[in-house]
């Protein structure tokens, strides 16, 4: 805490000078612009370019956030996978409203999606799961995501147990493992700007058409 006080975090700041986002840069469909930005982040080999903050709300209205990797996107929505007994999956079961937030610091860009989450069909889940690395399949079996454990040793031992159980065997899809498709109706693009005059454009779906507004930073 003393080191933090000496650093004076309130004075930490920098200018955003990488780029601008003009109305002429926008596409009619926000997914096209998002794919462009995501491609640029991947080509620059940024750390975890597909990482997104997933926000859900519990039955008491308490928000929760966690980082999850985007695994697919198309006109039907954005997809991620998870243990269906996890905290986020339980939240979504009771309230499927959701927010996804992408941040690419090196590009000084952010994108926020708002929409609803719908469970994926078994065939979609299996198609992705069968191509996962073997150790990732084992970890899916070994971890009861979000449950309380006394030590990490328990988790490691369970991993080794599952690994031995499926030695030289195909690892089946766990019944509790699945994923969600996020059907979005709002997308905000943020590009850092000099003097904190950031560029923000909000896409909102109205009558199957995207309405675009510039927002003050």
pTM check: above 0.75: yes
Confidence of residue 1 (pLDDT cuts 50, 70, 90): low
CATH topology of domain 16-130+175-215: Pnp Oxidase; Chain A (2.30.110)
Q: Is 69 a known ligand-binding residue?
A: yes
18 is in an annotated binding site: no
pLDDT, tens digit (0-9, with 9 covering 90-100), for 143-168 = 877 788 889 998 899 999 999 999 98
The average pLDDT across 77-99 equals: 97
77, 183 contact by CB (below 8 A) = yes
The packing angle between helices 134-142 and 152-165, to 10°, is: 120
- In the chain, where the domains are located: 16-130+175-215, 131-172
Q: Average of pLDDT values for 52-57?
A: 98
Q: Could you give the residue numbers annotated as active site?
A: 196
pLDDT-wise least confident of 94-98, 159-163, 209-213 = 159-163
Q: Is residue 82 a known part of a binding site?
A: yes
Determine the Cα–Cα distance for residues 120 and 110; give it in Å rounded to an integer.
26
**DSSP state letter for 72:** E
Q: Is residue 109 marked as binding?
A: no
Q: Is the pLDDT of residue 11 over 90?
A: no
**Is 160 labelled a binding residue?**
no
28 known member of a binding site? no
């Amino acid at each position: 805490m003393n080191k933090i006080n000496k650093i004076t975090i309130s004075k930490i700041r920098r200018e955003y000078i990488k780029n601008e986002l003009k109305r002429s840069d926008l596409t009619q469909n926000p997914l096209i612009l998002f794919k462009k930005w995501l491609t640029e982040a991947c080509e620059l080999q940024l750390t975890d370019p597909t990482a997104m903050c997933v926000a859900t709300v519990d039955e008491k209205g308490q928000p929760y956030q966690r980082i999850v990797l985007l695994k697919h996107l198309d006109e039907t929505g954005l997809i991620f996978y998870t243990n269906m007994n996890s905290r986020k999956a339980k939240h979504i079961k009771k309230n499927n409203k959701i927010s996804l937030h992408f941040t690419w610091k090196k590009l000084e860009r952010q994108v926020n999606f708002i929409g609803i989450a719908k469970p994926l069909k078994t065939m979609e889940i299996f198609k992705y799961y069968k191509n996962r690395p073997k150790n990732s399949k084992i970890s899916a079996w070994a971890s009861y995501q979000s449950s309380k454990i006394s030590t990490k040793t328990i988790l490691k031992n369970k991993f080794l147990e599952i690994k031995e159980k499926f030695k030289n065997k195909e690892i089946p899809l766990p019944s509790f493992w699945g994923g969600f498709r996020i059907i979005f109706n709002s997308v905000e693009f943020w590009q850092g700007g000099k003097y904190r005059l950031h560029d923000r454009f909000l896409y909102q779906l109205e009558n199957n058409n995207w309405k675009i507004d510039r927002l003050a930073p």
